[in-house]
Each structure stands twice: as C-alpha cells, then as structure tokens.
Structure 1
C-alpha cells in the first residue's frame, strides 16, 4: 500500500494523473463554491483566506507535481496556472448575485501558489529521491 501511494505521489509515470486531479479538484472548487449558501456555511469553520490558501496551495502542489520538466518550469507554470484558475473563479463569482469576485482573494490564491511552488522548487528532487530511493540529480 505504501509503495503504491509513494508511486502515485512521486513517480514520473503518474504526472498526468496528478495534473488531471488538479483540474478535477478545481472544477469541484468552482461547482461547490457556486452553490447558493455553500460558501456561507463553510465560512463558519474557516475564513476565506484559509480556504483560498489551502485550496489553491493544494492545486499548486498537484500542478507542480503533474508538470514535466525542470524545477523552474514546474514552479513557474504551476503559479501561472493557479493565477489563471483563481482569476476565472473570481470572474465567475462576479456574475452570481449571492457571491462577489474579489481581487484580494485572487492575490491570496497567487500568494499560496507562490509559497508552495517556491518550497517545492527546493525540496521536490530530494523528496522524490528519498521516497523512490533514487539518487538526487
């Protein structure tokens, strides 16, 4: 079981799965976030900053691990994709009468993605090597 989970999280052959999982999770964020009253109900347990930071941080991690290439390419593309995703989310919210799109939420999304991508830039090769028992490149 542990070997399978390790392979899913770190093996190159599962990059596409992790990328698609990020897209699926993003679709869920959009759908669930646009249900009337859902955001207000969740807001009782976590603030908007916490929700955006956690949600878009996880998206950035999945995107980083699901993009092929070097660390700089992964980091840049994951932050850019999260920025686009966050902008689309806020744009959609601006059309809903019970929601509002906010630039501040979008900035939280980008900040969370940047922090996650920067951390993974430095630790990802070591994590992969340690978990898959491969030498660090």
Structure 2
C-alpha cells in the first residue's frame, strides 16, 4: 500500500501536486509573525530546511517523469527555485529576512536527496 502511494506512477501526479501544496504551506506558515521563532524551538533552521526540502525533492522526483537522471535534474532545479522564492518572499516581511545560507541548505538537501533517488531509481529492475 505505501509502496503504491509513494513510488508508482498511478500516484505520481498526486505526489507532484503535494509538493507544491506543501511548499505553499511553508510560505504561508513562514509568513505568520512569530511562527518561525516557535518552530525554531523544536529544531534549528538547518534541520528544518533540510528536512522540508528533502521531502519536497522526493515528491518532485517521484512525481515527475523521464529517466532517473532527468527526474533528478528537474527536482534539483525545481527545489532551487522554490528555495529562492521562499527567501525572496522573506525579504518583504519586516520580521523575517531572506538568507543565501538558507537557500544553499535547501539546494544541498535537494542535491543529496535527488542523488540518492537517482541511484535507487536507476537500479530498479521494473519501471514504476
């Protein structure tokens, strides 16, 4: 059941749309005054960014189409754009600030996750 939901092509579009929905929620919740500070009590910014953008990368990779290499490139580029947009939006909020460091963490999480997914996807015997 979980394999069907997370890895098969029958739910690929759902995973791709889920990535964009989660990203929108990250933007919305991050725009609430004090919400980021509250989240910072649970985990550091590096941990939050790494986990969130790794999940988004997984969803974009498995929700996309093409070869594993094409999926990896599309996922990294999509996540890099998402992270840049997130940081850009933060520059317009007086109680937040955009940071290149955060974008680098987002992009690194995408690179690591997409690389792992590429390796795993490439070794699959049966196309999903």
Which of 77, 82, 90 matches 1:80? 77
When the two structures are superposed, what TM-score results if normalisation uses the length of structure 1?
Answer: 0.89
Tell me the C-alpha RMSD between the 2 structures.
1.2
Say which one has the larger Rg.
1
Q: Which residue of 2 aligns with 1:8?
A: 5
Q: Deviations over 1:17-38 (max 9, x none)?
A: 1100000000010001110000
Pairing 1:32-43 to 2, within 5 Å after superposition: 32-43=29-40
Alpha-carbon shift at residue 124 of structure 1 (Å):
2.4
Which of 102, 107, 110 matches 1:110? 107
Alpha-carbon shift at residue 118 of structure 1 (Å):
0.2
Matched residue count: 127
Q: Which residue of 1 aligns with 2:24?
A: 27
Pairing 1:24-63 to 2, within 5 Å after superposition: 24-63=21-60
Q: 1:36 aligns to what SS in structure 2? A: coil
When the two structures are superposed, what TM-score results if normalisation uses the length of structure 2?
Answer: 0.95
Q: Which residue of 2 aligns with 1:64?
A: 61
Alpha-carbon shift at residue 13 of structure 1 (Å):
1.6
Q: Deviations over 1:96-118 (max 9, x none)?
A: 00000000000000000000000
Q: Contact (CA 8 Å) 1:125, 1:136: kept in 2 or not? A: no
Pick closer, same or farther for the CA change 1:12–1:125 going to 2, 3 Å.
farther
Q: Deviations over 1:8-66 (max 9, x none)?
A: 11111211111000000000100011100000011011111000000001000000000
